[in-house]
Structure 1
Amino acid sequence: MSALDDRVAESTPSSSLDDREAAVAILAPSLDTPLSWPRTVWNGRAPRHVTAAPASTRRLPTWPQAIAGLLAAAALGLIAGAAVAFVRTLLSFPFMQDFLAAFPGEYEPAIAVEPGFAPWLNWAHFFNMFLIVLIIRSGLRVRTEKRPTVFWTPRGKAKGKISLTLWFHQALDLLWIINGVIFVVLIFVTGHWVRIVPTSWEVFPNALSAALQYVSFDWPHENGWNNYNSLQQLAYFATVFIAAPLAVVTGFRMSGLWPKRAERLSQAYPVEWARALHFPIMLYFVAFIIAHVALVMLTGFLRNLNHMYASQDAVTWTGFWVFVASMVVLAIGWFAARPLVLAPIAKVFGTVSGR
């Protein structure tokens, strides 16, 4: 073997060693670079899961739907106009003129009652308005709330956990019932029950007469300071003595206050009946409020507001400004009806938790 071969043989292991060291240097990670691992921690309540933003389910109406809505509104307008024209023509006949003369829309109550509205009645009206609006708002929220985030549990009754929204709804219901009971007691004590309780069968033909006059836009004489017309009387009677008790009874059946061990009572009054009635009753209250507000505005706005808010039978701005103040209070209550404000109040009566 020549000297050249010896040199090659000696250099071969050294070259391989250098190559290995170079490969190790390339494959070895740098100490300055952190190891790459899959991310397992995320911001939020569920740290090991990524929560995607929920897609909006609200869809804009299509052009055919929008056109159909406009056509439906136009059809309702035509029907309303035709009804007004028909009733006005009907009332022009002599026999209908005789009917209006015999039944002008109201009758004299069987028991004399002092005219006007006492201040306690104004306050009861305001509290009723304030509570019923928030009751409707919270009730609709209960129906649409799929996954509540805040719960309320009564002390000593862990199984009675309900959502904070439902607690707020039931708390408002309780206040509304108390206000209603006070109102009913006072109208019977003072004799003002005669205003809203029919005392003669004449209420029905007079109510029909008032309804026809409203539709014809030749409205009946407004004398609410002394006596409601028969249509108003029937509406108030149905609201106070039929719709309100039904709302209470159906709501109580669906609440946690219903006795769970009363099996026979539960069978006689199934919860499905209460659920089937409770929502339509709420719709009745909404319709009543819309009609009530519309008539207040269209039949002597300032005088009616003075009746309801200032206990005055005069056309002044006093009742209007009290009404504006009441709307401000209602707006504050509307925006305050959220967990940030409700949770501290609910903690006074139980435990508030996020789960």
Structure 2
Amino acid sequence: MTTRAAEPAPELVEGTEPRPEPTPAAASAVASGASTRSATEAASPATAVARRPDVSTPLPFTRTVWNGSAPRHVTAEAAPSKLRPTWPQALSGLFAAAGLAVLAGAAIAIVRAFLSLPFMQDFLATYPGEYHLPAGAPVGLPAWVGWQHFFNVFLMTLIIRSGLRVRTEKRPTAFWTPRGNPKGKISLTLWFHQALDLLWILNGVIFIVLLFVTGQWMRLVPTSWEVFPNALSAALQYVSFDWPTENGWVNYNSLQQLAYFTVVFLAAPVAIATGFRMSGLWPKKAEGLSKAYPIELARAVHFPTMLFFVAFIVVHVALVLLTGMLRNLNHMFAAQDAVTWTGFWVFLLSLAVIAGGWIAARPLVLAPIAKLFGQVSGR
């Protein structure tokens, strides 16, 4: 008779308790739950079929493609151009231009009728538009005036261009940092603008010195109170298109003299003073001076001053071309009082130089020059 060995008892892991054997009642409960789930799962498909919605009637919809064919190419709607004016805007512009033309014509007719009155004829005879210069006033324009004029136009053009770029530039592509002052980093465009300002100031100082040394100041600075009625007379003659007869080689009319005096001795100093306040050259530690002359005031005046220069340039060039172009260009660019084409060709050459400077005013050209005075970086 073989004796069966007893099975070893299961080992208990330390920290655990032995799992109790299921009782007959628990086993019957588990079996009952399983049978209930089976019955539920068996009934669920029937319930799902019974709850399925009726799809025999199609839902209402709007047809976009007919006859069962779809478009081969979908044409995207073109985005409206922001630069192209709409028809109402174009018509408004045309009506505005027509209105200005009508007003200009009416002004010319009214001023002509006004100047034809007897007392205005006496006024024009007394004040023809200019007065005699003091004795000893120089006659003619020396060559240095022409050179100064060209440099001034060249610098002013680039100053206006760079100034507008500074106002509209959102993310500068390059920066300039002065040596020994890492906190003084500015955009390369602003550096170019300020460098042009310094050259323009230097050119202006030389011009003022030569103006008073040679006596040419008497052509720009009014020396008689008669300048005001003569300026009014010249203005009325310009508006009437019966322009005053003059010889700029000898004397400017009074309206010109006041305009040139305003540009040289009033507008230019205002531009310099406001630009200096906004530049990095302004002393940062002068708190009292900064409060007396706030930067907001400088900004509010600087831009309108630039607009004044632009308006002056437009009117000045227009009158030069319309009141004896060849002779005026000879005065300004050839230093001679003659009706020849010399001044005209020099004028075209100067325009080519200005255009070249305009095109060259970009970081690729400016960066090597700026590196001579500081550090140029991309950020």
Which bin holds the TM-score, normalised by the shorter protein? 0.7 to 0.9
Q: Give, in angstroms, the shift of residue 69 of structure 1.
A: 1.1
Specify which of 257, 261, 264 is matched with residue 285 of structure 2: 261
Q: State the alpha-carbon separation in 2 of the partners of residues 203 and 58 from structure 1.
A: 49
- What is residue 195 of structure 2 aligned with on the other side? 171
Q: Give, in angstroms, the shift of residue 110 of structure 1.
A: 2.7
Given that 1:111 and 1:194 are in contact with CA atoms closer than 8 Å, whether structure 2 keeps it comes out as no
- What is residue 377 of structure 2 aligned with on the other side? 353
Pairing of 1:1-355 with structure 2 (within 5 A)? 58-355=82-379
Given that 1:110 and 1:200 are in contact with CA atoms closer than 8 Å, whether structure 2 keeps it comes out as no
Q: Give, in angstroms, the shift of residue 66 of structure 1.
A: 1.3
Q: Relative to structure 1, is the Cα distance of residues 191 and 56 closer, same or farther in structure 2, using a 3 angstrom cutoff?
A: farther
Q: Give, in angstroms, the shift of residue 324 of structure 1.
A: 1.0
Q: Give, in angstroms, the shift of residue 60 of structure 1.
A: 2.4
Secondary structure in 2 matching 1:152: strand
Secondary structure in 1 matching 2:236: helix
Q: State the alpha-carbon separation in 1 of the partners of residues 204 and 246 from structure 2.
A: 26
Q: Relative to structure 1, is the Cα distance of residues 127 and 223 closer, same or farther in structure 2, using a 3 angstrom cutoff?
A: same
Q: State the alpha-carbon separation in 2 of the partners of residues 107 and 69 from structure 1.
A: 42
Amino acid paired to 1:117: L
Amino acid paired to 1:309: F
Q: State the alpha-carbon separation in 1 of the partners of residues 135 and 365 from structure 2.
A: 48
Cα deviation, 1:203-246, whole Å, max 9, x if unaligned, reads: 00000000000011110012110000000000000000000000
Given that 1:222 and 1:299 are in contact with CA atoms closer than 8 Å, whether structure 2 keeps it comes out as no
Q: State the alpha-carbon separation in 2 of the partners of residues 58 and 309 from structure 1.
A: 42
* Rg larger in structure: 2
Cα deviation, 1:288-316, whole Å, max 9, x if unaligned, reads: 00010001000110000100011000001
Q: Give, in angstroms, the shift of residue 111 of structure 1.
A: 4.1
Secondary structure in 2 matching 1:218: coil
Q: Give, in angstroms, the shift of residue 189 of structure 1.
A: 0.6
Amino acid paired to 1:268: A
Q: State the alpha-carbon separation in 1 of the partners of residues 237 and 151 from structure 2.
A: 32
> Normalized against structure 2, the TM-score is what?
0.78
Secondary structure in 2 matching 1:285: helix
- What is residue 42 of structure 2 aligned with on the other side? none
Q: State the alpha-carbon separation in 2 of the partners of residues 57 and 240 from structure 1.
A: 43
Q: Give, in angstroms, the shift of residue 59 of structure 1.
A: 3.9
Q: State the alpha-carbon separation in 1 of the partners of residues 224 and 123 from structure 2.
A: 17
Q: State the alpha-carbon separation in 2 of the partners of residues 201 and 81 from structure 1.
A: 32
Q: Give, in angstroms, the shift of residue 65 of structure 1.
A: 1.3
Cα deviation, 1:255-290, whole Å, max 9, x if unaligned, reads: 010000000000000000000000000000000000
Amino acid paired to 2:371: K
Q: State the alpha-carbon separation in 1 of the partners of residues 99 and 297 from structure 2.
A: 35
Q: Give, in angstroms, the shift of residue 57 of structure 1.
A: 8.5
Q: Relative to structure 1, is the Cα distance of residues 291 and 253 closer, same or farther in structure 2, using a 3 angstrom cutoff?
A: same
* Gapped regions of structure 1 (runs ≥ 5): 1-54
Structure 1 stretch displaced more, 310-319 or 104-113: 104-113
Structure 1 runs, 4 residues or longer, greater than 3 Å off:
55-59
Q: Give, in angstroms, the shift of residue 109 of structure 1.
A: 1.7
> Normalized against structure 1, the TM-score is what?
0.83
Cα deviation, 1:21-72, whole Å, max 9, x if unaligned, reads: xxxxxxxxxxxxxxxxxxxxxxxxxxxxxxxxxx999442221111111111
Secondary structure in 1 matching 2:84: coil
Secondary structure in 2 matching 1:153: strand
- What is residue 28 of structure 1 aligned with on the other side? none
Q: State the alpha-carbon separation in 2 of the partners of residues 229 and 82 from structure 1.
A: 25
Q: State the alpha-carbon separation in 1 of the partners of residues 80 and 293 from structure 2.
A: 39
Percent pairwise identity: 75
Q: State the alpha-carbon separation in 2 of the partners of residues 151 and 255 from structure 1.
A: 15
